[in-house]
Structure 1
């Protein structure tokens, strides 16, 4: 934890290789953060020699309440990000039905992103910097165009967002 970082009450974080929280960032309360450690003799994920069970949160970012964050693979949350509302799921692992194995892929959330309530982000997905993921969206692929609203099930680009929006130009993470 870096300076002025905060972890609230009733969070559970188990089986992680690394939990890193940047300056002025927070994990509110009631979140379930899990991983699958790399220092095990389990057959699960044995084909992924470089897999890391990490949650890395940048500076001035916030994960609010009651989310499920599966860090079987790396979840990278950028600077000035808000994972808002309740009940979002970030899930890095699943079953590969073609090969009949447990498999995992990283999740990336770019700088200055807003993730709406009850969203699901799957392994291999990326939300580009300066983007909004609408409430109840399913992000299941790697988007690359910034300054966009993404939403739906599965998520798609909905519209361009102005670069002048104050959320995208903050110098402190706290939103009044």
Structure 2
């Protein structure tokens, strides 16, 4: 609790001083070249690689771990939340003791602006992937109508993927490496084939993609 209070009150400090405070007293591991804007980041473990960046007005709460690889970006106005571990007085997710409320963004990957991420279980965004546009939702927990109970499962976005604006990814969803999820698609299961365009509700394979597309071969995450 003390760590979270310090993280919250440090928002108004100059960034070099704020970074030192987070590293020394809040258990963070933030590279000197990384930066957090005017955002509230409340988690047990924070790791930011070289030149990674959390933009302004993003809220991170209720998760155990936030990890950004080298040059990774978590953009502005995102809402990242989860159901914390260790709430013994709660009936939720008692059968999921191995769940990890975490957000892991790989090197040169980006989550743009105004997305909602439910990290009750782990969300992984692979290297060089982009959660693009805005208004996408990634959910790791839901209600089972059949069992009348809550359940959770991780969501995985592979390397060199592109998630179009307004997409929804549901618990257990997995997008293979070198894949595109079309705008507005609903991905509700694990897909297997790479180099594929997935789209629709629910999402299905729509079209094979050439392996030599420039997006799949770039060496920098930022697209100009």
Bin for the TM-score computed over the shorter chain: over 0.9
Q: How does 1:107-122 map to 2 (within 5 A)?
A: 107-122=155-170
Structure 2 length-normalised TM = 0.78
In 1, Cα distance between the equivalents of 2:193 and 2:153? Answer: 21
Structure number with the higher helix fraction is 2
Cα deviation per residue 1:131-153 (whole Å; 9 max; x = unaligned)?
00000000011001000000011
Cα deviation per residue 1:24-62 (whole Å; 9 max; x = unaligned)?
010110000001111211211011110110101100000
Count of equivalent residues: 176
Aligned to 1:96: 144
Aligned to 1:136: 184
1:68 aligns with 2:102: no
Q: Does 1 or 2 have the higher relative contact order (CA < 8 Å, sep 6+)?
A: 1
How far did 1:99 drift? 2.0
1:3 aligns with 2:64: no
Unaligned runs of 5+ in 2: 1-47
Structure 1 length-normalised TM = 0.98
In 2, Cα distance between the equivalents of 1:88 and 1:150? Answer: 15
Aligned to 1:165: 213
SS of 1:108's equivalent in the other structure is strand
